[in-house]
Structure formats: C-alpha cells, structure tokens
Structure 1
C-alpha cells in the first residue's frame, strides 16, 4: 500500500513593516484640494469685504478723518467725546428701548400665532406662506405704505369715529412716533419668528400631549409644562436674533419718520449714517460704530447665556 504525503506548502511569512509606512499612517489625512477650492474663495471674499473694512474703520476711529482730505491721530478723544454727546445718548436710549419693546412683542405674538396655527388651523402649509410673506417684502416699500396709513388713512378713520387722540398722525408726535416704528418692525419681523416656532413645535411628540390629556391637564398647563420647555432652544434663537436685528434698526425709521420729529426716533444706525457719511464726522461716527458693535456683541452673549441656563433649568 502506497502512502502519498501531501507536499508541504512553503510557510508564508508576514512582510516586515516599513517604518516609513507606520509613520505615514499615524499622520492625519490631509485636506482634499476640492475643499480648499471651495472654502478659499469664500474666505478671501469675507476677508476683503468684511474683515478689512472693519479693521480699517477701527484704525480711522483713532483719527480725525472726515471722510476726505488729510487726517492725523487723535488717540481716544473720539471715544471720550462720545460719552459727552447728548445726541449719542439720546440715540442709544431710543434704540435700546425700541429693541426691548419690539423683541418682547414680536416673540409673544409670533409664539401665540404659531401655537394656534399648529393646534387648530387646517391648511397649515398655506398659512405658513401667508405669514412668511412680510419677511420677503422690501422694508422701505412696506415702510412707505405704513407711512401713508399712519399719516392719512388712520387719522381720517379716527376723525370719523370721533377718536380725537388719533385724528392727527402719530408720526408727527414726539411721544407717539416710536409706536408707529414698533408696529411696522413687529409686523415685519413676526413672519420669520413664526416659521421658527412652527419648526420647533413640529419636534414635540404628540404622545406627550396625549398623556397630558389623560392626566387632565388644561391647554395652558400643557403650554407651560410641555410646549414651552421643549421648544426652549427655538425661543433662545428667536430672542437673540430679534434683539440683535432690532438694535440695528434703520430702514423702518428712514421710511416712517427719518429720525423725527426732531431726533425723537433717531436710532444709532441712522445717527452713524448721517454723521459719518453726510456730516463729515467719519472718524467720530466710526468710533461710535465700534462702541455699538461691542455693545451688541456683549448684550447678545449675555442674553444667550441667560436663556441657555433657563433651558437647562427645565
């Protein structure tokens, strides 16, 4: 009997790793050239059209540059004079008061409309388009329409109804002109806030409301204990963006009052525009813009931190 032995296969040995390959594997992969090609143009555009003007403005805020002609360094004198200028203080008082009132009103109104729209009204998609319409309209055009309403239509209607307090244009009244600006700003800004709140309400699971109904919770209790805490992030975003946008109010005032009567509705942005580009105070108003920028950033950060803590407390 012949016994056949299987031929032994040669033993395969693992190749000795190359130290250069090991070091190459430790290195993080490089950024693809495609990403550089996409990011670099955007970065350059942002740098030259945003960062460079900001740095140039900060530089000129330490000079007496009038926007033309020669200039020289004056140090911090522009910043010191800002705190002695009553017109600047008046503009800041009006702007912050306007931003505070408008921010509260627009979020209350937008949240109420969004909750009602999400809970009871059919054809939600159609109504979303209707409510979002004011956001896509040009502020100046809408502002001139509101100007005509406040100056002509409303006084005529009030006179026929015997309401003497509104028989004259509120835009010509130093004590009431800001109300017209608030109405226009809130009407236009509520559109964007409504859409954000509607998006937040879509994230709340319906099972939570069903459980609350079984426990006998009222609609108001469901809003306070379920809806509002669960859309806290959207409330934070709306509050921060609203305050920031209202602090930069410009078009609404130009269309309605142009800062009048007198300087009763003159915002900081309008003051910077008038003094810097029309009044030969380029360096002075640039310093005002720098202070204004710092104020907006600080207020936004403080507001963001406070609202985030409120979210965590729920």
Structure 2
C-alpha cells in the first residue's frame, strides 16, 4: 500500500514542476518586477511602491477598472438570470430536452476568439442591413464603432457564450430536488412562483453561489472577446483591465508598472470573490 501511495506521489511531481515553472515562478517574478522600473528589456532599478501609487493616479487605468466593473456586474446578473430560466425549462418534461441540453452547451466549447470574429462580422454587416430593411435606425450602423454602446455588443456575445456553462451547473442542482416536494406543494395550492421561491431557489442556493462567484471572476478577467471584437476601442471605451495590462506590459514598455497593476488587479478579484462567497453562503443559511 505504501509503495502504491509513493508511486502516486511520484506521478504528481512532473505536474507540480510544470505548474511551478509556467505559473508560480512567472507570477512571483512579476511581483518582484512590480517594485522596479523594468521596461521588459535593458537595465532596471528598484523604485519601491512608486508603481502602485501611480496606478491610482492613472486616469486610463481608473477608466479601465470602471469599465470592467460595470461590464462584470451587468454580465453576471444577465448570465445567471438566463441560465436559471433555461435550466428550469430544460429540467421540465419537454420533448428533446437532452438534445436541447447539448445544443445549449455548444457555445461553451467554441473558441472565444473565433466566436468574437464571427460576431464582429455579424455586427458590421448583417445587423445593419437587417435594421435598415426593418427601419430600426438604432441598429442601422455598426454598434461596435460607437463608443457609448460598443460594450453592449461585447456583452451580448459574452453572455451568450457564458450561459452554456452556468446552465449545466444549474441543471446539476435542479436534478437533486425530489419531485415529491413539488407534488406536495401543488396539493397545498402553491403556484409556480411560490414553488420557485420556497422550494427551487433555496435548494439550489449553493449552485447559485458557485455560479455568481465564477461568473463575476470570469467577467472581471474579460479579454478575448474584446480583442476579437473591438480591440479596446473605439478609443479606449471598451478597454478592460486585462487588455490594458497586456498592451502596456508587452507593447508599451511598462512591464514593471503593469506588473504592479496586475498585482492590484489580482487582489481586487480575490477580495470580491471572498466577499461574494461569504455573503452568499450566509444567504444560503437564511433561505
């Protein structure tokens, strides 16, 4: 038995080494460089907390944080609402429910970049043409080219693709609810809304917590959709924190500065996730 456990331990060593080399070490290196004036090349020197203070004085960084938070909050709410509605529909006794589950999950396995490029073409060509025919002036032009509403195009595609995974999680929670509870509620005269609020939602509350935390975390890290659809434009109207860090660090000679921004960004995501988790877990107990 001990030999078997030792063999399993040895099998994990290559994975641990690779994880450390390609994940942990670069992360620690980034934290180290965040206290310097390193540009990604050449000589450098220590500057202490200067980069961290500069982030809070950088209007472009603050704008990116504002856009990212706005996008993440709206997208998280929409994804969970749509996912829960679809999951409840698919969990009911309708024809081809298993086939529909596979169809709804398809967006999750598609490449984000490919989906983004496809929808970029749709918003540029198809939507304006259809809108002109129908007389919808608001959509007669490419919305991705308008600073005020470009984020709505990204939001639409991001929510559409994210709904797939969240729906699967909600379905996993719904199948754990005994059918007898709904039958008893029907006998007592409970309606659809009362069944949902008093039976369905309290029993799937842990799945709701997981979905809310994961969705918020993923949307705070939005990057691929923006790269494929707007590139952060028009101007910097759809520039997320991830995109700002990438461009400034690898293209703008701000490696150390954006490393500090990345550390702050990481801490913000951790704090938001922990606060979400604790608050929603307390709500689970109350429900």
TM range (shorter): over 0.9
Q: Aligned pair 1:214/2:187, yes or no?
A: yes
Q: What displacement does 1:117 show?
A: 1.1
Matched, 1:148 2:121: yes
More deviation in 83-92 or 32-41? 32-41
- Aligned ranges for residues 189-204 of structure 1 at < 5 Å? 189-204=162-177
Structure 1: which 5+ runs fail to align?
Answer: 1-28
Q: Which runs of 4+ in 1 moved over 3 A?
A: none
More displaced, 95-104 or 161-170?
161-170
Could you list the per-position Cα deviations for residues 30-68 of structure 1 after superposition, in whole angstroms to 9, with x for gaps in the alignment? 993123112222222222221111110000000010001
Which residue matches 2:238?
265
2:270 corresponds to: 297
Are residue 93 (structure 1) and residue 66 (structure 2) matched?
yes
Deviation at residue 275 of structure 1 after TM alignment: 0.4
Q: Which one of 109, 130, 152 corresponds to residue 157 of structure 1?
A: 130
**Residues in 1 aligned to 2:202 and 2:140: alpha-carbon distance in whole angstroms:** 44
Q: 2:51 aligns with which of 72, 75, 78?
A: 78
Partner of residue 103 from structure 1, selected from 76, 101, 117? 76
Q: What is the alpha-carbon distance in structure 2 between the residues aligned to residue 119 and residue 68 of structure 1?
A: 59
The match for 1:229 is 202
Task: Name the structure 1 match of 2:21.
Answer: 48
Corresponding residue for residue 241 of structure 1: 214
Residue 288 of structure 1 deviates from its aligned partner by: 0.4
Which aligned pairs between 1:122-137 and structure 2 lie closer than 5 A?
122-137=95-110
Distance 2:68 2:53 in 1: 21
Tell me how far apart the structure 1 counterparts of residues 209 and 12 of structure 2 sit (CA, whole Å): 30
Query: Counterpart of 1:280 in 2: which secondary structure?
Result: coil
Aligned with 1:32: secondary structure?
helix
TM-score by length of 1: 0.89
1:124 CA displacement = 2.1
Relative to total residues, which structure has the larger helix share, 1 or 2? 2
Q: Please say which of residues 93-102 and 148-157 is displaced more in the overlay.
A: 148-157
| Structure 2 unaligned residues grouped into runs of 5+ | none
2:133 & 2:265 partners in 1: Cα distance?
Answer: 45
Equivalent position SS for 1:253: helix
Structure 2 Cα separation of the partners of residues 232 and 30 of structure 1? 43
Matched, 1:167 2:140: yes
Number of aligned positions between the proteins: 286
RMSD: 1.2
Counterpart CA distance in 2 for 1:137 and 1:262 is 28
1:120 & 1:86 partners in 2: Cα distance?
53
How far residue 120 of structure 1 moved from its aligned partner, in angstroms, is 3.8
